[in-house]
Each structure stands twice: as C-alpha cells, then as structure tokens.
C-alpha cells in the first residue's frame, strides 16, 4: 500500500530496481570474488534498511541482438556464444570464465540497462539501479576481460542515443578500476562524456592518458580516500558536467574503492557514495529532468558492497 501511495503521489513513480535471478546463475568457481552472493548482499541490505517500499522491482529482459550490435560486432557476440560451455567452465582470460549459466546472465545484465533506459525516458521511473552481474565496464567492443563479457552500460547508452535521440550523455564511473571498455567504445563520440576516478597504477593499467577530448579521468594513488575523491568530483567532474549539460547520466557504480574491500587500496566509505550520488542527483535535476541510470560494476567485500549500494540507492529513491 505504501509503495502504491508513494508512486501515485509523486507522479513520476518509484526508483526502478532492475535485476533477475538468472544473474545468480553465473559462477566462475569457488573463491572467485565476482560471485552470486554479491547480488544477495545488496538485496539483504536493502531489506534490512526497509528500502524496498521506495523501489519498484522489475525483472530484467534479455537483450536483443540488435541492441547488442550497436556496441559489439556480430563476430564478437558469436565468439562469446561459442565459448558458452554446456558443463563445467571455459576461461576466456585468466580472470574471466563462463559456466552454463553465464550467457543468459550476461544477456539479462545488458537487457536490464536497456529496460532502465526505457523506463526513465518514458517517465515510468525517475531513475533506476541495475543490480546485475556479470559486470561490464571492462568489456571492449570486441574483447572480454576483467570479469566482463558485454559492456552493459554501453549497450544502454547506445540504446538511449539510437531510440531517444539524445545528443549529450554523461558516464560517471567511480569503480576502483578504470572503465577501459566504456572509454574504448565511446572515445570518438562527442555525444558521450566520461568522467571517472580509479586507482592507478592498477588493473587494467590504462586511463592515465585519456583516449579522447570527451574523456576526463582522475587517477588516484593507492591509499587515497574521501578527500582526494571529493576533490576530484568538485574540481573536475562537476565543472566538466556542468559545461556539457547532459541530457541523461549513467553511473558505472562500482563499490570496490571502499576501504574494506581488499581487492584494491582506495579508502572510500558509504558516506562518499551517498555524497557523490546527491551531487549527481542535483546536477541531473538541473540539466536532464533527473534522468539517471546506475549500473552495478565492482564491489567484492560483501558487507561493504551491501552497505554502499544501499546508501547509493537510498539517495536515488529519496531524490
């Protein structure tokens, strides 16, 4: 009843929380940090914080071949399909493996972002969070890597550009790893601006030399924390974004820069994710009618991931 009432009083609906049980079927093996429990941790924390009354749960559809083809050439999609094993696992690189459930999970993950774009652009939701895996921002147009197969956020951006004729889209990436795939895909597209922070030097050992004038990156040294992150946002991201005046904002929401995540060496906290989300909401309200699509990337300490994602989603749902 509370969900129905809030949706009708606000007029713009509730924040969409888009996921699918198929995303739990991708498993790269015991002990692998990119595990199904990541999505469980986020949902458990949202339930503990009683946030589901502020969300509309939506099942992710399967991405279509046409939607994938805007980002990934057919030969690459065919290669990923051919690598899909009927039993066991197939390793596409030293860090990234496929099991029988991976291809379906990857299609749901990309489809979730397309669905989010449709909902936000059609005013069925003010904004959206895609709780999906496998992640995507390391996947280049024709190369899987870093736990990623399809570049989920790029598929969503390409859908927004093609179907809604947007001319200025901003990508904000605060994952601890540089989103090399997103940069490679949009490096020559003046309609897309990317701002990011990431630990450097660190996997994938890129980003310190931007590939285009539309790429604005802030490499951070190991040990950097709230001060360095917030300065990057205040003094680089926000001025660039204000000048660009995006019509829509996409967030590569990786939470592995958290100080409790031992996969890396930055020192952010839930308060930092809450703060930057508020800043982006304010900017979106000014320039793009509040349109934000946030997409899960990294985050491997389950407790820190759950708390950080919940803090991020709460701000989106309050906005």
Per-residue confidence band for 12, with pLDDT thresholds at 50, 70 and 90 = low
Does pLDDT of 11 surpass 90?
no
Catalytic site residue from 138, 159, 216, 312 = 138
- The yes-or-no answer on residue 287 being catalytic is no
| Cα dihedral across residues 115, 119, 122, 124: positive or negative | positive
Q: pLDDT at position 6, please?
A: 43
- Over the stretch 141-161, which tens digit does the pLDDT of each residue have? 999 999 999 999 999 999 999
Mean pLDDT across 102-112: 98
Q: Residue 66: exposed, middle, or buried by beta-carbon count in 10 A (0-12, 13-18, 19+)?
A: exposed
216 has which bridge partners? Answer: 195
Mean pLDDT across 212-229: 98
Residue-range domains of the chain with CATH: 19-318 (3.40.800.20)
Q: pLDDT at position 62, please?
A: 98
C-alpha triplet 262, 300, 317: angle, nearest 5° = 125
Does pLDDT of 266 surpass 90?
yes
Torsion of CA 87, 31, 139, 184, to 10 degrees: -160
Does pLDDT of 1 surpass 70?
no
């Amino acid at each position: 009843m509370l969900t129905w009432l809030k949706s009708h009083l606000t007029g713009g609906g509730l924040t969409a929380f888009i996921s699918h049980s198929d995303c739990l079927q991708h498993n790269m093996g015991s002990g692998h940090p990119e595990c199904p429990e990541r999505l469980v941790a986020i949902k458990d924390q949202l339930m503990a914080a009683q946030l589901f009354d502020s969300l509309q749960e939506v099942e992710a559809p399967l991405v279509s071949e046409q939607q994938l083809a805007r980002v990934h050439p057919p030969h690459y999609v065919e290669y990923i399909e051919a690598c899909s094993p009927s039993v066991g696992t197939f390793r596409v690189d030293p860090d990234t493996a496929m099991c029988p459930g991976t291809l379906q999970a990857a299609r749901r993950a990309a489809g979730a972002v397309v669905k989010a774009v449709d909902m936000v652009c059609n005013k069925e939701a003010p904004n959206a969070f895609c709780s999906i895996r496998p992640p995507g921002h390391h996947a280049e147009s024709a190369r899987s890597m870093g736990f990623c197969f399809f570049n989920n956020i790029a598929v969503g951006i390409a859908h927004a550009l093609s179907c809604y004729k947007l001319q200025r889209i901003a990508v904000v990436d605060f994952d601890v790893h540089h989103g090399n795939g997103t940069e490679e895909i949009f490096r020559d597209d003046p309609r897309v601006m990317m701002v990011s922070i990431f630990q450097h030097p660190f996997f994938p050992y890129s980003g310190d030399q931007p590939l285009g004038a539309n790429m604005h990156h802030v490499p951070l040294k190991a040990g950097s924390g709230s001060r360095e992150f917030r300065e990057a946002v205040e003094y680089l991201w926000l001025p660039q974004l204000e000048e660009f005046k995006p019509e829509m904002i996409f967030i590569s929401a990786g939470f592995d820069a958290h100080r409790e995540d031992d996969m890396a060496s930055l020192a952010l906290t839930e308060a930092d994710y809450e703060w930057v989300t508020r800043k982006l909401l304010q900017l979106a309200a000014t320039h793009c009618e509040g349109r934000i699509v946030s997409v899960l990337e990294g985050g491997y300490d389950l407790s820190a991931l759950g708390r950080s994602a919940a803090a991020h989603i709460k701000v989106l749902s309050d906005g």
